[in-house]
Every structure is written in C-alpha cells, then in structure tokens.
Amino acid sequence: MNMDYRQSGVDIDAGNDVVRRIKGLAKATATRGVLSDLGSFGGLFHLGAANLTDPVLVASADGVGTKLRVAFMSGIHGTVGMDLVNHCVNDILVQGAQPLFFLDYLATGRLDPDVAVQIVEGLARACRENGCALLGGETAEMPGFYADGEYDVAGFIVGAVERAKVIDGHGIAAGDVLVGVPSSGLHTNGYSLARSIVFDRLKLSVDARVPELGTTVAEALLAPHRSYLPLVQPLLAAPRATIKGMAHITGGGITDNLPRVLPEGAEAVVHLAAWEVPRIFQWLQRSGSVPREDMLRTFNMGIGLILVVSPGDVDAVLAALRDAGEGRAVRIGEIAQGQPHVRYV
C-alpha cells in the first residue's frame, strides 16, 4: 500500500489553508518599517522606522505555559495569542524599549485550521494594540509529539530604545520608591499550581461558576495578560527620565523578579498591606491551603509591574499613570541599603 505525507499525520493543504487565512490578519498589523509579506522565508523590517539616532535592539522570547491547558479544556483559543504578545511586550518594556515586530511559533500534533486562526487572531489583535508588526512565524505539524487538540505556542519580539535611555536599574539607590501597577489576573504564570487547586482538589469544571469571583473558572483563568505599554509610554517620552528601573512580575512573583533590576547595595522593602490582593488569589490560597511565601513566589498577587522612581518623582508618576487610564497604581514600598533581594513587611 502506498503511503503519503497526509497518511503519516501531516496535512500540507491544511497548513496552506492556515497561511492563506492569516495573511490578512498579519497585514493589518504592518507598520511603516515592514518590507515583506507573510510567507517569505524571512521577515524584513527597516530599522529606520524606529526614528532613533543611536538604537539598541532589545529582544525576548517566551511562551504561555500551562495556561494553554485551560484553553484546551474550554475550547477558548482567542486569548492565548494576546497573552503571548503582551507578555513579550512587557519583557522588553522594562528596559525602555518600544516593540518593533513579533514572530510566533505554533506547534501541534494535528493542525486544526480554525484553532490556529483563533490563536493568530489574538496575536494580531495584541500586535495592533501595541503598535507592533506581526512579521512572520512558523506553524509546525508534529504528529506523535502532541495529543489531538493540543498545541504549544511561543513568541519572539524585537524592540528598540535609544542607547542613552536604556533602563537597567543602575541608578537605583536607598530612598527610591516602589510603585506597583495592578495585574489583570494570573497573567501567564502559576498555572500548574492553580490548575492543581481548581481541577484536582476542588474538582471544578471550566464551566463551573465561582460565586466568590463572579465568573466561571474559564473566565477567571483565561483573563488576558495585560500590556503595560500604553501606561508607561508617556513616562518614557518625558523629557527627563522619571523611571530608574522596572520589573515585570512573572514566574517567581515579586520575590524573584524585583531583584533582577536591583544593583548591589539595594534591598527592596515591600509593604504587603499597601494593596488589596485580588479575590482570585485569595480564593486560590484558601482553597489550596497555600503558604503565603509560596503564593508570593508563584503568582503576581495583583501587581503585574513595579516601577522604581526617585522620591521626588512619585506624585508625577502616579499622576501620569492616572492620566493614561490607571488610577489603581500605588506606592508599595521603598529601596533600602542591603543586598539585592525582597524583604516583605
């Protein structure tokens, strides 16, 4: 009996159908730096479009983690692309970079064109909202690697910043203030623990409604990762630099992420009573009997971004965040003399 590629599990026609359907989505994200169409062997981008005199490229790569399992269970695939783009945008934002273009990698056992298009719709939407071009990507059909209905998705972002305006935390000193900006939920971290609590211990389905949260399990766990670019952009454009350092609170929580931007001799003192921990984290902690230290090192606990600013700039920074649409940002601590770590009080 003759065999072909389709019989081995790879459907080239389905792959071509996906490319055809997503070309328009990618084209809608094009900025003036884009010089190529989707489907080329490589994406072309003119760096001059960044309008920088001494540009430094800033790149990052990430995934969505086991949050994808909730997407599989619920059949909701339109938000994970947004998660991916916004996570990557935030990762380069903390160094002062504006996003230029984004690439994605989608791998699956059996390609479902409808699911793939939903994922790319989320990618394209977030790219448009962040002024970032979806320059290209790869869709890999890998039978035997993934079960039917499962996939993994990763993203790669490139941005740019003036060399003189790179934010690296080197000027952070004792007396500086920590400003916390709220998250929109779990973002893309802590899902292995959250899923264990919700699905294994509580035995809930994705459609179950949680009165304490006012949502279904799926709605609570699939809330998209927030982009902080619209809030921080006005601060980055200020004539005088007001931000000394920024930390994107992802895996490891405040405990492990804030020290990444601290220089030697700087300790972060975080006041846990400074903000109200959102109900979803309170619910998970209580339902799973999770120790506070583990919560703080697993989840963002309602703070998705931390800015380090001089004491004299705090009021101006908070006012700028309010003007940009975020009135819930709050002072959550300060910098003291010590080694680069977080001390909770």
> Which residue ranges make up each domain of the chain?
12-165, 177-344
First to last CA, the chain: 71
Answering whether pTM is above 0.85, one says yes
Q: What is the CATH code for 12-165? A: 3.30.1330.10
Asked if 23 and 39 touch (Cβ cutoff 8 Å), the reply is yes
Taking 70 as the pLDDT cut, the residues of the chain under it are 1-15, 239-241
In the prediction, which pLDDT does 26 show?
86
The CATH class of the 177-344 domain is alpha beta
Average model confidence (pLDDT) for the chain? 93
Give the helix, strand, coil percentages of the chain, each rounded to 5: 35, 25, 40
Cα 267 from Cα 209, distance rounded (Å)? 42
- Please report the pLDDT score of residue 80 as a whole number: 97
| Whole-number pLDDT of residue 239 | 67
pLDDT of residue 21: 78
Q: Are 213 and 186 in contact (CB under 8 A)?
A: no
